[in-house]
Amino acid sequence: MRGIAAARLRPVGYGPYCPVDEQHNEQAWEKNAAWSFKVMATQDGPTGVKLGCELAVQKGIELPKP
């Protein structure tokens, strides 16, 4: 994918647990259906970016290790 080795990518789906927009309307659903990529580390080290959300963890979603 655009020069990134597949082994360096980890897809994770949080479904309804970590919405970008918690409203229940068409605009919110569109935002929540989007993909996002988070940079977890650079050659300088970890970025401190948080994965998932507390509700996902409570519901048993295992967050990937950085």
For 17-65, what is each residue's pLDDT tens digit? 889 899 999 999 998 887 878 888 889 998 988 888 888 889 888 877 7
Cα 8 → chain centroid? 15
In a domain, 44, yes or no: yes
Give the global pTM: 0.58
* Number of domains composing the chain: 1
Range of the domain at 23: 6-58
* Domain contains 29: yes
C-alpha torsion 12→46→56→28, nearest 10: -70
Q: What is residue 1's predicted lDDT score, i.e. its pLDDT?
A: 54
The answer as to whether 66 is a domain residue is: no
**33 falls within a domain:** yes
In a domain, 65, yes or no: no
